[in-house]
Amino acid sequence: MRFHRLLLSTVAFVSFSAFKGVASADESPEATADTTIEPVDSEKFEFQAEVSKVLDIVVNSLYQNKDVFLRELISNASDAIDKVRFLGIQKPEMLADKQDLEIRISYDEEANTLTISDSGIGMTKEDLVGSLGTVARSGTTKFMDALQEGAADISQIGMFGVGFYSSYLVADKVTVASKHPNDPVQHVWTSNNGDSTFMIGEDPRGNSLGRGTEITLHLKEDAEEYADYNRLEKLVSHYSEFITHSIYLRKTEVMEVPDEEDQTEENDESEDELDVSEDEEEDEFEEKPTKMKEVTTHTWEKANADAAIWNRPKEDISDDEYQDFWKLISKDNENATSWSHFDAEGNINFKSLVYVPTTIPFALRQGDFNDFKNSLKLYVRKVLISDEFELLPKYLSFVKGVVDSDDLPLNVNRETLQESNIISIIRKKVTRKVIDMIKKMADEADKVPEHDADVEIDEDGNIIEMEEEDNSPKKENVYHQWYENFAPSIKMGVMDDDSNRSRLAKLLRMKTSKSDGGWRSLAEYTSDMKDFQSEIYFIAGASMKEVEESPFMEKFNEKGLEVLYMIEPADEYMLDRMMEFDGKKFSNISKESTKFGDEDEDLQKRTLAAYNDKYESLLKFMNQFYGKAIMNAKISQRLGNIPAIVSSSQYGHSANMERLMRAQVFAHGQDESQLRGMRTLEINPRHPFMDKLVEDLPTNEEGAIDKESVSQDVKDSLWTLLDTALLNGGFTLNDGKAFTKRMMRTLKSQLAVDSLDLLSEIEPKVEEDVPPEPELDGDGINLDDFVADDLGFEDL
C-alpha cells in the first residue's frame, strides 16, 4: 500500500511515440518493422528497484483487463505527437524529417509480434534510460510544467508512468526503437519480461524512422489473438476511436490471382512448336484452366473516427453532423430526437454531448433498465476510460453520449476512477442537462397551436385558415410521440429521483376527462382548475374505457371537474410518491374521502344527518351482516343512478392497486385480507333499492333489525348489492362460488322453477331396420337378383 501511494503521487513517464516508417496511408506498406532488431554496441542497464516492483504489480494485479495495453500505448503515442506539434510551432525544423502526424499499428502472425508506431517527438538515449528504466522521472511532466499559461490545449494524459509497462501484460519481450530530432542516432531499447535489466544501443537499420518511436511486442502464447486485424480494429474503435490523430491499422490479406509467370511460359512453349497437326489445330481454341497462385497483400485502413465533435464549437457543427455522430455512437439508423452539447465549468470542467433517441431500445421494451446502465462513455482527453460508470440514473438509461474531462483523477490503471465527489458532480450536472433538454422539447411543443395551419388575413383583418399541403406530422406531436415511447422512464424518475422530482413532473403528460384523447401537462391542468377546486383529481384503472365509464366519474362530469386518467401500471405508484404538484395535492376519486369545494357544508351536514337517521338501522345491520367483507357502511352524497359502490378508505388500497399487487408474481406472503385493504360500502340514500330494503328487513320490539328473521331472498339481495357495488368500484368479487349460487337461486325464482334437481336422462331414439341399397353393375343391373346356380357355378 505504501508503494501504491507513492506511485499515485508520482508523475513519471515521457509520452513516447512510434512510427512505422511509412509516412502516409498512400505510401507503400512494405516498410515494416524488423521484429528481430538487436541493438549495436549496446549497453546493459539495471532497472530502478521501483520499476521491478511496478512490473510485478502491472502484470499480476494492477490491470484487470489486459486489452488496455493498446489503449495505453496509443495514448502515449498521441501525447508524443501533441508534444512535437506544439514544439514545431516555434521550431519548424522539428517537423522537417516527417510532416505527417499519425499512429500506425501492424502485426506479424508468423513472428507473433505487434508493432505500434507514431511520428511523435521520439526519445534520445538519455530519455530511454531515464523514462523506461525509472519511475521517478518524466519528460512529459517536465514538459507540462514548462508550458506557460495559454498553452493548455496540449493534452498529455500519461500521468503515472506505468502505461508503457502494460505492454508486459501480453508480451514476453519488448523492443523500442526511437529517433529524436535533436539526436542524430536512432537507438533501440529492449528488455525481456521478468528480467531486471534492459539493453540500449544504436539501431542497426540506421535512421529508418525519421522521427518518432516504434514499439514491438513479442506476444506471449496466450496473447496471440492480438496479432489479428479484426481484434485490433475492435480495440481501437472501442478505446481510441476519438483520438485526435489518425490511427492506421495494417491489414494483411491472402488472395488468389492468376499465375502470370506460368501463363508466359506456356505461351513461349507454344511459339517454339513449329509442326502443328490438324488435331492440334482443333484443340488450339479450347480453353485451358487458368492456374492460380496465392498472393499476400498489405493495406493501411483508417481505424478511428475523423474527429471528436464535442470538442468543436457548437456554432460550427451542423445538424447533419450531429446526427451522423449519433448514428456512429448508437449504431442506430434513425435520427435522434434531440441532443444537448454543453461545457460544464466549476469545480470540475468537462464537455459533454448527449442524445435522446427516437425509438425505444430493445431492453426497455422488455422493461429491463439494468441492461442500459452504460449509456454514457467517459473519456479523458478523447481516450475512453470506462463505459461502466453510471453517469446517469437508470431512468435515463436510454440517453447516449460522451463525457470528456481533463480534470478527472485517475487510478494508475485508468480503469477505475478514485472514489470522490467528482463523479457525483458530473452525474448531477449531466442529469440536469438531460432533463433541461427534454423540458425544452416539451416547451417547444406546447408553444405550437394544436392546429398548425397556414394563416392568412383578409382585407377586413379576419383570419383565414389554410390547410397544409404536405402530410408531415404536426410540430406539436414531436414531444407527445416521444413521450408515448418513453413515459415509463420519466415516471420511474419521478418515483426514484427525489432531487429532480419537481423538474421531472413538468415533463409528465396525461390524458384527462377533458383532453378528448390528447395529452395535457400538469401545469395546464392546474391553470384550468375551478376557483373552488383545491385538489388535483385522478382515477386509476386498467383502460380508458374503464375509467371513463366508472360510476365515480358521474359527479365530476356533472360539475365539470377535470379528472386525470391513470391507466398505466406505474401511474398510481408515481402519484403516491409525488403527492402534490405546484402546491396542489393529488386526490384519488375512488377514495371515500373525496370532497368537492363548491358545496354548502352546513346544508350538506344537515342533509347527511337526516339520511343517517333514516338508514341508521340498515347501516348497523349491514356492518354486522357483511362482517370482514367491508370495513364500514355509510351514506354517500356523490352517487348518481347506482344504488351503491365500494370505495377505498383514505389509507387503503384502491381497486387498481389491488390488481397490480396481485400481478406481482414474486411477491411473498400475500394475504387476501391485506390485499382487500380497507373497503367502504357507500349506499345511495335516494335509490329505491335502499328504501325497499328498509321496508323488507324485519325489526324487533326495540326497532332494530331482527337478523334471525331475515329471509333468504333478502340475504341474497344484500349480497348481490355488495357484489354490484364491488364491480362498480372496480374491485373483484369476494367469493365467486357464493355469487354463482345466489345467481342460481335468483334465476330459479325469476323462471318459476320448482326444483333444481336434474331431469332424468333422455332415452336415445331407436332407429328402424332399413334394407341396404342394392348393388348395381356397370349397366345398372341388380346383382342380388342372380344366384350362383343360375350362373352355372353351383359346383364352385
* Predicted pLDDT of residue 369: 58
Helix %, strand %, coil % for the chain, to 5?
40, 20, 45
- CATH level 3 topology of 309-447: Ribosomal Protein S5; domain 2 (3.30.230)
CA 19/CA 245 separation, integer angstroms: 13
Weakly modelled stretches of the chain, pLDDT under 50: 1-32, 136-160, 274, 276, 285, 412-413, 450-476, 788-789, 791-796
DSSP labels for 173-203?
EEEEEEE-TT-SS-EEEEEETT-SEEEEEE-
Between CA 420 and CA 397 the distance in angstroms is 23
> What is the phi/psi pair of residue 281, to 5°?
-65, -35
Please give the pLDDT value at position 757: 86
- 161, 16 Cβ separation under 8 angstroms: no
Query: Residue 434 in contact with residue 399, Cβ under 8 Å?
Result: yes
Q: Which residue has the cell 430526437?
A: 337
Write down the pLDDT at residue 271.
Answer: 52
Residue identified by cell 549495436 is: 40
Distance (Å, rounded) from C-alpha 339 to C-alpha 440? 11
Q: Are 338 and 356 within 8 A, CB to CB?
A: yes
Say how far apart CA 266 and CA 104 lie, in whole Å. Answer: 43
Contact in structure between 305 and 328 (CB atoms under 8 Å): yes
* CATH 3.30.230.80 segments of the chain: 309-447
Grid cell of 609 as nine digits: 344527518
Question: CA-CA-CA-CA torsion for 711, 713, 716, 722, nearest 10 degrees?
Answer: -90
The predicted structure's pLDDT at residue 766: 79
Of 351, 350, 357, which is closest to residue 375 (Cα–Cα)?
357
DSSP state, 61? I
What pLDDT, on a 0 to 100 scale, did the predictor assign at position 150? Answer: 40
pLDDT at res. 257: 65
C-alpha cell at 703: 326497532
Residues of the chain with CATH 3.30.565.10: 2-26+35-251
CATH class of 508-588: alpha beta
- In this predicted structure, what is the pLDDT of residue 371? 54
Across the strands, what pairs with 192? Answer: 173
Q: Which residues are registered as beta bridge partners of 293?
A: 257
| Residues in Cβ contact with 706 at an 8 Å cutoff, skipping those fewer than 6 apart | 698, 699, 700
What is d(CA 345, CA 747) in angstroms, rounded to the nearest whole number? 78
SS3 123: coil
Phi, psi of 735, deg, nearest 5: -140, 100
Q: Would you say 250 and 105 are in contact if contact means Cβ atoms under 8 Å apart?
A: yes
**CATH number, domain 2-26+35-251:** 3.30.565.10
Contact between residue 640 and residue 551 where contact means Cβ atoms under 8 Å apart? yes
What is the model's pLDDT at position 545?
Answer: 93
Q: Where does CATH 3.40.50.11260 sit in the chain?
A: 508-588
pLDDT in the model for residue 779: 59
pLDDT of residue 340: 95
HEC secondary structure over 582-637: CCEEEEECCECCCCCCCCCHHHHHHHHHHHHHHCHHHHHHHHHHHHHHCCEEEECC
The reported pLDDT for the residue numbered 565 is: 96
Strand segments, DSSP code E, in 270-422 are 292-302, 338-344, 350-356, 376-380, 383-386, 400-405
At 372 the pLDDT is 55
Q: What is the spatial distance between Cα 646 and Cα 623, in angstroms, rounded to a whole number?
A: 13
**Angstrom distance (rounded) from CA 328 to CA 306:** 11
Cell 446526427: give the residue: 323
Fold of 613-649+668-751: Four Helix Bundle (Hemerythrin (Met), subunit A) (1.20.120)
The 644-648 sheet, strands edge to edge: 632-635, 679-683, 644-648
Q: What is the DSSP string of 641-681?
A: SSSEEEEE-TTSPPHHHHHHHHT-TT--S--HHHHH-SEEE
